[in-house]
A and B are shown apart, each in its own frame.
Chain A
Amino acid sequence: MLGSQSSLVLFDEEFSNITSILEKLLVEANAKALFLVDKDGQLISSTGETDQMDTTSLASLTAGNIAATGGLAKLLGEKEFSVLFHEGEKDNLHLSLVASRVILVVIFDQRSSLGLVRLRVRKWNEELEKIFNSLEKKAKEKGAGNQSFFAEITDEDIDNLFR
């Protein structure tokens, strides 16, 4: 169910690819803001009018929302509900799953429409999936490369955090 217990590791190259896709999607979907959130509630990337938003809370609640909906899906014998839509008076939320691992959040207002958002999300979802699939491979291969960094953490470093 978890896929794996492995960490999500993000490298510079993928990060910039992801960000550039989000920026394109933002323009094409005429959206207000976009977020990419790990299913565990960690914010991966965001773009658009995010200044006034509490992005950390948004990420955590999105993940909670998707988790609860996933639980409902299983009760009904579905694997997952891959798209969620919340309609507000001004702003709307469109949530969709990418590669069953991350959540793409699109916030949009009257400048766009649900149809347009769905269409554009579907288009870019595939590209994002490719990145996350390759990221998983890369993290496995590169595993050796990361060793040094974590192995170098000393007990003193850890103690210093709590001073």
Chain B
Amino acid sequence: MSFINYASREINLKIVYYGPGLCGKTTNLQYIYQRTAPEAKGKMISLATETERTLFFDFLPLSLGEIKGFKTRFHLYTVPGQVFYDASRKLILKGVDGVVFVADSQADRLDANVESLENLRDNLEEYGYQLEKLPYVIQYNKRDLPNVTPVEELSRLLNPGKVPEFSACAPKGEGVFDTLKAVAKLMLISLKKNEK
């Protein structure tokens, strides 16, 4: 979970982007990387196959500024979406502070979304986390494509708990920062609550 360093006055938080294969997790990170000022970001690391499918994880460190004199740093990770990488996927969730579930809006990926969300719940439970208790937001990606499921239906299926949800088109950046801000905010609020 979070790492609070009183000596260097830093708060470090870990965000994981989860979702089915090819839903756009890496694209989210790439867009954030492109649009962030150089001084606020570190190097983006992608452990991917030769065909640019995520093999282990993508990693992007961001530092957003200070809260009460503490530097807040966010470590963004994606998981490999393909079903057979489940063992690696589980490892990335370790120590997570906030989760973004990226859903693929295309109608033929509906089952893949449901399955991936189930898988997220199962993997979190193995660490003793409950998705509902974590800072958690959903992004409906690829809204620009034809044959997309209406947001209302996606919401009904994937978001019964009514967590913050965002429509997105990750390559163009629509909804990308809204999603990130929402989860970051929830994490800081949760940090505040937990310490009370």
Could you list which residues of chain A lie within 8 angstroms of chain B, going by C-beta atoms? 1-2, 5-12, 14-16, 38-42, 44, 54, 56-57, 60-61, 64, 67-68, 70-71, 143, 146-147, 149-153, 155, 157-162
Distance in angstroms between the alpha carbons of A61 and B44 in the assembled complex: 11
Q: Which of B7, B57, B192 contacts A153 (CB 8 A)?
A: B192
Given contacts A1-B127, A2-B127, A41-B14, are A60 and B61 in contact (CB under 8 A)? yes
- B82-109: CB near A (< 8 Å → 1, else 0) gives 0000011011101100000000000000
Task: Name 20 extra pairs, CB < 8 A, besides A7-B2, A8-B2, A153-B68.
Answer: A5-B129, A8-B3, A9-B3, A10-B7, A15-B8, A40-B14, A41-B95, A57-B42, A67-B92, A68-B56, A68-B91, A71-B88, A149-B195, A150-B192, A151-B192, A152-B68, A153-B67, A153-B192, A157-B68, A161-B67
By the criterion of a CB under 8 Å from any partner CB, how many residues of chain B are at the interface? 45
Residue of B4, B47, B128 near A7 (CB, 8 A) is B4
Interface assignment of B184: CB less than 8 Å from any CB of chain A: yes
Task: Determine the main DSSP class of A at the interface with B.
Answer: helix
Pairwise interchain contact B94-A161, C-beta atoms closer than 8 A: no
A121 to chain B minimum Cβ distance, whole angstroms, is: 23
Among B7, B87, B91, residue most surrounded by chain A Cβ atoms (within 10 Å):
B7
Q: Which residues of B contact A (CB under 8 A)?
A: 1-8, 12, 14, 42-43, 45, 47, 56-57, 59, 61, 64-65, 67-68, 72, 75, 87-88, 90-92, 94-95, 126-129, 181, 184-185, 188-189, 191-192, 194-196
Residues on A with C-beta less than 8 A from B4 are 7-10, 146
Q: Contacts A2-B127, A40-B14: A9 and B6 contacting too (C-beta < 8 A)?
A: yes
Cβ–Cβ contact A7 & B3, under 8 A: yes
**Residues of chain A contacted by B5 (CB below 8 angstroms):** 10, 15, 44
Write the chain B residue with the least CB distance to A10. Answer: B5
CB distance from B159 to the nearest CB of A (A): 23
| B33 nearest CB across to chain A (Å) | 13
- CB-CB under 8 A from B47, the residues of chain A are 64
